[in-house]
Amino acid sequence: MELGVSKMRKPPGRIRDVAKETGLSIATISRVMNGSKSVSPKTRKRVLEACERLDYLPNPAARALSTNKSNTIAAIIPTIEHSVFAKFIAGIEQALGTRGYSLVLAISNGEDEEELKAARKLLGMGAEAFILSGAAHSKELLDMFLRRQVPIAFTSVWDPNLKIPTIGYDNSKLAAEAVRYLASLGHQRIAVFHGPLKTSDRTLARRQGAETVNTPLVELEFHETELSVSGGRVAVREVLHGKVRPTAILCFSDVLALGVYFGLREAGLEVPDDMSVMGFDNLDWAKETHPPLTTINLPAAEMGKAVATQIMDHLETGVPLHRENLDAEIVRRSSVKEIK
């Protein structure tokens, strides 16, 4: 009768169980589990069979402890209830998954406070790198990452002046392009709808980009509204009650544009005959509206894939993270008409 061994075997099989089962040392088992090449083929086979039999899976905590790697990447986003972020997350998850990494997700609601709390939590959970949205973050947060030397990347933005790598698109430039596009079609008064400036530096960048277009003939009126279908609809009412009616509405989100569609419909106005409408995002349904929505295609999923890939490469090979400017271009459909 062995002593002390009477305690029930703990449910998950441990490496030493496999060692005992095969009569090998735990070192060899470990080598097999990690695909080390210095294991004879038949030993490897024997081990793998034993693993199968014992339903063995290496303990992740133990592995993380000795290797100092958790294979976990964190993303903190302001909201997930916006298609663009959802696609972005899907892109990240997919890219991470193919290489065995996992995604831990936190939602900050655009609050620095919550973002910091989430970051601490995820750090204390073993996240090896962080994917953040936008470039505006509390100094405290950034300091924390700096002190701990945790790799971070900013996404949804592209800014050559930042030291921290930005992987995304140039919001300012794109907004300016959108305005110029409308101007080129003869629109001289354009209403611009956007979400809250407070919580999103990307929105601010877009607005500032739009303002840079000072073709003398173009007048812009800005409407800050809630970032939702409802917000777009509310803003339309404002516009329709204004003294001078613009000929086009540029929305810095397709979601707003959808609200605009309904708002105009409610007012009995036709797109684009009575009002041209342009969006920003190119969500899945943008081509399905009636009329199909002219918008700017943001490569959300590609962006997720790009940042995830860069981070994994960095973690594995040490190549530094680098700025990446993704293609985003105007998708011309029929919600914008030319003004003679």
Partner DNA sequence: ATGTTCATTGAAACCGGTTACATGTCAATT
Partner DNA sequence: AATTGACATGTAACCGGTTTCAATGAACAT
> Rounded to the nearest whole angstrom, what is the least distance from the CB of residue 214 to a copy of itself in the complex?
34
Distance CA 243, CA 294 (A): 26
Nearest 5°: the CA angle 252, 283, 223 is 15
Distance CA 221, CA 225 (A): 13
Judged by beta carbon, residue 123 or residue 315, the one nearer a copy of itself is: 123
Among positions 14, 44, 48, 79, the unique one binding a copy of itself when judged by CB under 8 A: 79
Question: Per rule CB under 8 A, is residue 233 in the interface with a copy of itself?
Answer: yes
Judged by beta carbon, residue 103 or residue 312, the one nearer a copy of itself is: 103
Contacting DNA within 62-81 (CB under 7 A): 62-63, 65-68
Judged by beta carbon, residue 33 or residue 144, the one nearer DNA is: 33
Residues 6+ apart with CB under 8 A from 317: none
Question: Per rule CB under 8 A, is residue 146 in the interface with a copy of itself?
Answer: no
Nearest CA to 211 out of 220, 224, 223 is that of 220
**Structure-token pair, residue 307:** 């940042």
> Rounded to the nearest whole angstrom, what is the least distance from the CB of residue 107 to a copy of itself in the complex?
5
Nearest CA to 264 out of 285, 288, 293 is that of 293
95 binds, options DNA, a copy of itself, none, Cβ within 5 to 8 A by partner type: none
Sort strands 276-278 and 248-251 into parallel, antiparallel or unpaired: parallel
Question: Per rule CB under 8 A, is residue 180 in the interface with a copy of itself?
Answer: no
184 binds, options DNA, a copy of itself, none, Cβ within 5 to 8 A by partner type: none
Question: Per rule CB under 8 A, is residue 284 in the interface with a copy of itself?
Answer: yes
Sort strands 248-251 and 189-194 into parallel, antiparallel or unpaired: parallel
Contacting DNA within 225-264 (CB under 7 A): none
Sort strands 129-133 and 72-77 into parallel, antiparallel or unpaired: parallel
Q: Which stretch binds DNA (CB under 7 A): 15-23, 109-117, 176-184, 286-294?
A: 15-23
Question: Per rule CB under 7 A, is residue 125 in the interface with DNA?
Answer: no
**Phi/psi at 16 (5° precision):** -70, -25
105 binds, options DNA, a copy of itself, none, Cβ within 5 to 8 A by partner type: a copy of itself
Among positions 40, 161, 214, 317, the unique one binding DNA when judged by CB under 7 A: 40
Place of tokens 């601490």: 120
Q: Which stretch binds DNA (CB under 7 A): 8-16, 108-116, 124-132, 277-285?
A: 8-16
Contacting DNA within 41-60 (CB under 7 A): 41, 43, 56, 58-59
Distance CA 91, CA 85 (A): 10
Q: Which stretch binds DNA (CB under 7 A): 36-44, 103-111, 183-191, 197-205?
A: 36-44
Nearest 5°: the CA angle 332, 225, 279 is 5
Question: Per rule CB under 7 A, is residue 292 in the interface with DNA?
Answer: no
Nearest CA to 249 out of 294, 292, 308, 214 is that of 294
